[in-house]
Amino acid sequence: MNIPINNPLPLQGVRVIEFSHMVMGPTCGMILADLGAEVIKIEPPNGDKTRKMSGVGLGFFRTFNRNKKSVVLDINTPEGLATTKELIGQCDVMLENFRPGFMQKLGLDYQSLSRSFPGLIYVSHKGFLPGPYENRLALDEVVQMMAGLSYMTGPPGRPLRAGASVNDIMGGMFGAIGVLAALWERCTTGRGQEVQSALFENCAFLVSSHMQQAAMSGEAPPPMPARASPWSVYDVFTLADGQQLFIAAVSDKQWNLLCSVLERQDLLDDPSLRTNDQRVAIRPAVLERLGQILQHHKIDELSAKLEAAGLPYAPIGRPDQLLQDPHLKASGGLVPMQTEDGGTTDVVLLPMLMAGRRLGVQRPLPAIGEHTEQILAQLALSRTA
């Protein structure tokens, strides 16, 4: 690891080689790249298949592969494999998310590589950690069904996949967390290690509070659409012109504020609605009554009043609308990136600040093999050094 004297980004000087596709592995590599690591993405001769996906996969490559360098190597040929191993030896971290057993056949598994490169930190992104399921193939949707997330998301009897690749993305995040911890430990031990992150265990972590709910209550938790809410007002309401708005009042103070915003003294004066416990006991009737009132309110006018009163509310947004979201733009979380075809697109940055700054776009999205000559030339120079 070559640590510069002036370090503008936390991981500058860390070199990462990435063998991954789709979402999980690329997310891990992107996080490390955003943090300043040099991430070399190894692509097959025709490029990562994710570049040419359609439908919901159309945006995968642009979303999860920024700030990386692209090198084309055919690891299925003796020459490509030899070059690959030589390049791995010059890296601090290796990422992969291939099917179980694939890297081992090529001698690119941790056990094989660690004998030659004991300082290597090797990150495997899999469907399952070692155990009875470890050789199963997994997808985000598969583990959502297995681990109860789909059950909790959909209404009773209708399991529903979450609307984003939550396990793939969080699995990549945990891979990156493991890299940071392993780099820190290596400062003391001088040795690398294997880090494993898995979709199924990630999903179990996501539903772990529901697991404890079951352990404590002795009952299976109901799906979220059928849950017993501890708050009387915590729902989506249909307003004038068919517009929808989520509104919450999770305390007696907020209930009183909501009644004032709606200018409904009758609700404030009703003795059966004084406390949250009273309102929860007759929650369906409360929601029906509020629904009849709210259907006459326009969304823009009511939103402004709720904002002024400090009450929780939210319009039902779509992802495409976030491209024009004023807060994302003003907070620096949505910035332009040059794409591989020379155009530009706005991308969402990591959702955090470090020393008051966002970790931004450092380089254009790479074309297939754009950095092959550069990286291999550096490799050749190192042989003569």
- pLDDT tens-digit series, residues 120-130: 999 999 999 99
Percentage helix, strand, coil for the chain under 3-state DSSP, each rounded to 5: 45, 15, 40
Q: Is 74 a catalytic site residue? A: no
Q: Tell me: pLDDT of 3 over 50.
A: no
Domain containing 365 — which CATH number? 3.40.50.10540
Residue type, 124: S
- How confident is residue 343, by pLDDT bands cut at 50, 70 and 90? very high
The rounded distance, in Å, linking the Cα atoms of 254 and 30 is 41
pLDDT at 384: 78
Tell me what pLDDT residue 385 has.
67
Percentage of residues in the chain having pLDDT higher than 90: 94
What confidence score (pLDDT) does residue 4 get? 44
Report CA-CA distances (Å) from 339 to 1, 21, 49, 51, 167.
30, 18, 17, 11, 26
Domain match, 176 and 72 both:
yes
Q: Is residue 217 part of a domain?
A: no
Residue 305 shares a structural domain with residue 354: no
Whether 113 and 240 share a structural domain: no
pTM exceeding the 0.75 threshold for the entire prediction: yes
- If asked whether residues 365 and 289 sit together in one domain, one would say no
What is the tens place of the pLDDT at every residue in 280-337? 999 999 999 999 999 999 999 999 999 999 999 999 999 999 999 999 999 999 999 9
- Domain assignment present for 223: no
The answer to the question of residue 299 being in a domain is: yes
Indicate whether 214 belongs to any domain: no
Mean pLDDT, residues 249-277 taken together: 96
- End position of a domain, from candidates 291, 316, 341: 316
Q: Is 289 exposed, middle or buried (0-12, 13-18, 19+ CB in 10 A)?
A: middle
Q: Which residue spans within 136-202 are E strands per DSSP?
A: 194-198
Residues 186 and 248 in one domain: no
* 326 in any annotated domain: no
Residues 113 and 244 in one domain: no
Contact 74, 80 (CB under 8 A): yes
Whether 25 and 172 map to the same domain: the answer is: yes
* 325 within a domain of the structure (yes/no): no
CA distance 126 to 121: 16
Give the CB-side neighbour count of residue 167, counting CA atoms within 13 A.
30
Section 362-380 average pLDDT: 95
Query: Over the stretch 209-231, which tens digit does the pLDDT of each residue have?
Result: 999 999 999 999 999 999 888 99
C-alpha pair distances (Å), 276 with each of 224, 226, 234, 260, 362: 20, 19, 12, 16, 50
Per-residue confidence band for 8, with pLDDT thresholds at 50, 70 and 90:
confident
Residues 106 and 46 occupy one common structural domain:
yes
Which whole-number Å values give the CA distances from 13 to 3, 32, 38, 116, 373, in the listed order?
5, 11, 7, 21, 20
Which band of pLDDT confidence, cut at 50, 70 and 90, is reported for residue 100? Answer: confident
Q: Among 316, 349, 374, give the residue marking a domain's end.
A: 316
Same-domain check for residues 308 and 247: yes
Q: Quick check: 377 and 349 in contact, CB under 8 A?
A: no
Our count of domains for the chain comes to: 2
Query: Does residue 224 belong to any structural domain of this protein?
Result: no
Residue 241 placed within a domain: yes
Q: Which of 316, 342, 357 delimits the end of a domain? A: 316
Mean pLDDT value of segment 23-33 = 98
CB atoms within 10 A of CB 109: 17
* Same domain as 57, residue 126: yes
Domain around 99 = 15-207+331-384
- Predicted confidence at residue 205, as pLDDT, reads 98
CA–CA gap between residue 88 and residue 75 (Å, rounded): 12
Query: What pLDDT is stored for residue 2 in this prediction?
Result: 44
Selected catalytic residue, list 34, 92, 140, 168: 168
Q: Does 167 lie in the same domain as 76?
A: yes
Residue 281 belongs to domain with CATH number: 3.30.1540.10
170-221 pLDDT, tens per residue? 999 999 999 999 999 999 999 999 999 999 999 999 999 999 999 999 999 9
The confidence band for 245, taking pLDDT boundaries of 50, 70 and 90, is very high
Separation of alpha carbons 161 and 110, rounded Å = 33
Residues 342, 236, single domain; the answer is: no
Give the pLDDT mean for 350-374. 95
